[in-house]
Amino acid sequence: MLLATVERWEREHLEEMAELVSGESDPVGRLRLIFGRVLEEWGGGCSVESALLAAADDPIVAPVLKRVTDGRLRFLEELFEALGFTREASCRRAVLAYSVYLGQAQLRATTPYVVCEHRALLDDTLGVLSSGGGFVVG
């Protein structure tokens, strides 16, 4: 039963992301839709994902979670490549974007008062992720 549940979650979440952005051709617009969903709509629905993340070492959950994570990262990498980033930079940005996505979802689920001013936070997040600049630590 657990396997069927996590596999259904996998299908729904990968298909849902593709469906959510299917009508948007602009990569920044696609990122806006993805992050906007987390900031504006994520509520009790993240309890399943939070539970799966907490059970990441479970032998039934681990491979499904890996496939979903890998699928989401591939999708994000493609968006960053479409923005003109190199393959290497796109991989790094995808990890950063996914980290932000998970962090914002966790905050929204556990301490929603921290994630205020959704529109400004969304604009700042997209600005950082899509900008060409970087910081050099010397």
pLDDT in tens, 2-14: 888 888 888 887 7
Q: What is the mean pLDDT of residues 98-121?
A: 81
pLDDT of residue 114: 83
Q: What is the reported pTM?
A: 0.81
The DSSP call for residue 98 is: H
**pLDDT band with cut points at 50, 70 and 90 for residue 135:** very low
| Neighbouring C-beta atoms of residue 26, cutoff 10 Å | 13
Please tell me the distance from the alpha carbon of residue 19 to that of residue 6, in angstroms, as a whole number.
Answer: 20
3-state SS assignment for residue 106: helix
Domain boundaries of the chain, sorted by first residue = 2-122
User: Is the per-residue pLDDT at 132 higher than 60?
Assistant: yes
